[in-house]
Chain A
Amino acid sequence: MFRDSTSIGGVTMKIKTVYIDDVPSERNKYERRFGEHELSRDRFELISLDTPKCLDDYNVIRKLSPQLILVDYDLSRPDSNRDVIGISGLTLIAELKQHYRDIPIILFTKKSVFDNNNLSSFSSLFSVVDKVIYKSDLFKKESVLLDELYNIAFSYQELSKIKKIKWDTIFKLLGAHDDDYDKIKYSATPAMLQKEFTITGIAKWVTEVLLQYPGILYDSLYAATFLGICEEEFMSPQIQEYFSNAEYSGIFGKNRSFWWKSKLFDIACAKMDDEELDLPIREAFHRYWERVNRIELDKSVCVNNGDSPAEWVCYILKKPTMLNLSLPYSPDTRPEVMDEARVSFKAIKTTNDVNPEMIDSIVRDQYYEIRRSRRK
């Protein structure tokens, strides 16, 4: 869902975008596509360039003052002198990042470049890249990538306007509430805790931590499960209006919807009676709603046994699950302040996507028992 709050005086801000590709037909193709597509023509001003080979080429880029740079990965096409520049897009991005620290630089490339789409083997190289976008996905129907791209560039612009970044300014940009300040700080990188703020560092933290892991902010699935209702119910106009003050409207959030967990809690509890307040939110909210509005809400349903309301979200199946029918899972390096990841018994039984090495050792035997039970 794209919420256009990026316009000034009714005019959408256009992002000046440099696209670097050594293949002329690719440059022409994307200049045309960006200029014609309804989701890009008013938001991006695309200037395509060949791979820079000398100081003059870099000066061309500098004079354009881009707000976003897209770089193809494969730059191995020989030039007119039949010389091959000999660097990949990643190397070029690393070079560009030294000069353009405050704008996003995206690896924009074909899927076939990476074996079987397996990016993990390249992950150590991707630290210089702000995002990887596949060419084939950008203009697909139903794709949200153009919104994402715009959102990233716009958010970088917001960040770069700040002369001296402090925690107060970050909280303001996030639209955070006092109650969440400590939690937000606990999720920050060591560099940020030492007040070494860089725009790229903040951007990566917001997109790869704060918006990536549930705990401080929730997407619709986690928000719904937290309230004990199904996702469809949560997205209904009535519920959305009720929780409108909990919606996240900070940087990097404009193309996806998130809600502050603390605000969901406050709003849900605000008018509950004492009996409802003694219950967990997932039990209390639908009771309150039924009492006040005479409407029965559909509850979140456990993917294992159909019980409701479910209590957590299965990391693998992305479905609600009961706590006692799930095991703790460590698939990533999320900060402790975030919600723990859990995998449902159903995911263990019916998929091969659960890595037993990531299951908490105290219950790993239980994982194997569940796997064995499939065969019975």
Chain B
Amino acid sequence: MRFVVHGGSKLMEISEYPQNLKTFLDKYGRGYLDYSTTSSLYKTVKDMGELVDVSKNKKRKTPPSWAVKIERNKPLVFVKNKDNLQVDICCDIQGKGNVVTKQNIELRVWSLNQQMSYRDEVDSLALKDELEIVNWKRVISRFHFDLKTTDTTKPEPICHLQIGGDSGSCLSEGSVSIKENCWHPSQLSIPRFFHVPFDIILICEFILVNFFPNESLDTRKKPEWVQLVKKSEEFFCKEYIKKCFDSLNDSKQTMLGNLAPDPKK
């Protein structure tokens, strides 16, 4: 299933997206991002910028293919918040011109809080020893925000949120390898909630609101921040929300029915 983004005023062209990502990293990530983990995103942004360059595109016959990837083993890490929770994200977002063809974002919430990470009544002593070595760092929640793939056989919504999902690889912190030890069973891949598509900027806004609400209050009030986020909303969310709205007027099918059509057999 693909979203084609078209129409609307002030619609962002994909050629603007790398600069928006860079603006976010340069201006709004300070105080929230661990900048030692941003180099791969900066590189992706630079590479993408060259791919979708406007002057280059004028000569092209077909829209450029682009990708924004943050590898699982080198996630973009946020600093820990006042509750000793630390979030990291990885993603694989791909497209062709203004069409998004793949959108997978994973968000992990790590606890560095002993009381939260280790459950006396449930977790083993062996786990306790393991967690102690890594300063109680443990994944307590994992979320996947995915665009449904064309070849799936599951009746999943076009854009969905899945809790848990495939467990990630270990996190490398210097020479130390930290296992997730997430208690959500990796075999459980349902339910999937229909959810607005996210890109990096939208998920970062989500993280700021949830994990740094007070610290990010001033930033989120600024018109320039609002504009930056709105450009991503227009590009990544508008069509999906339009579909949701249209389905309300569809007397023959429910919203979920429209957003999670039965897979073709």
| Chain A residue at minimum C-beta to C-beta distance from B23 | A362
Chain B residue numbers with a CB within 8 Å of A328 are 222, 224
The answer to whether B218 and A311 touch across the interface, beta carbons within 8 angstroms, is: yes
B228 near A: Cβ within 8 Å? yes
Partner of A363, one of B214, B217, B223: B223
A80 near B: Cβ within 8 Å? no
B177 near A: Cβ within 8 Å? no
The answer to whether B227 and A311 touch across the interface, beta carbons within 8 angstroms, is: no
In the bound complex, CA of A365 to CA of B9 (Å): 13
In the bound complex, CA of A363 to CA of B20 (Å): 13
A313 near B: Cβ within 8 Å? no
Shortest C-beta distance, A358 to chain B (Å), equals: 13
The answer to whether A311 and B221 touch across the interface, beta carbons within 8 angstroms, is: yes
A-B contact count (CB 8 A): 31
* Number of chain B residues close to chain A: CB under 8 A: 12
| Chain A residue at minimum C-beta to C-beta distance from B227 | A362
Partner of B228, one of A278, A279, A362, A365: A362
Shortest C-beta distance, A362 to chain B (Å), equals: 5
**Stretch from A11-19, A145-153, A319-327 at the B interface:** A319-327
Classify the secondary structure of A's interface with B.
mixed
The answer to whether B214 and A278 touch across the interface, beta carbons within 8 angstroms, is: yes
In the bound complex, CA of A366 to CA of B217 (Å): 21
Chain A residue numbers with a CB within 8 Å of B223 are 324, 326-327, 363, 366
The answer to whether A366 and B214 touch across the interface, beta carbons within 8 angstroms, is: no
Partner of B214, one of A280, A323, A327: A280
Interface residues of B in 218-243 (CB under 8 A from A): 218, 221-224, 226-228
The answer to whether A366 and B227 touch across the interface, beta carbons within 8 angstroms, is: yes
Q: What 1/0 flags go to B81-92 for Cβ under 8 Å of A?
A: 000000000000
The answer to whether B224 and A327 touch across the interface, beta carbons within 8 angstroms, is: yes
Chain A residue numbers with a CB within 8 Å of B214 are 278-280
Which of B's residues lie within 8 Å of A, judged by CB? 10, 23, 214, 217-218, 221-224, 226-228
8 nearest A-B residue pairs (beta carbon): A323-B221, A324-B221, A363-B224, A362-B227, A363-B223, A323-B222, A360-B224, A362-B224
Which of A's residues lie within 8 Å of B, judged by CB? 278-280, 311, 322-324, 326-328, 360, 362-363, 365-366
16 contacts between A and B (CB under 8 A): A279-B214, A280-B214, A311-B221, A322-B221, A323-B218, A323-B221, A324-B226, A327-B223, A327-B224, A328-B222, A360-B224, A362-B23, A362-B227, A363-B223, A365-B10, A366-B223
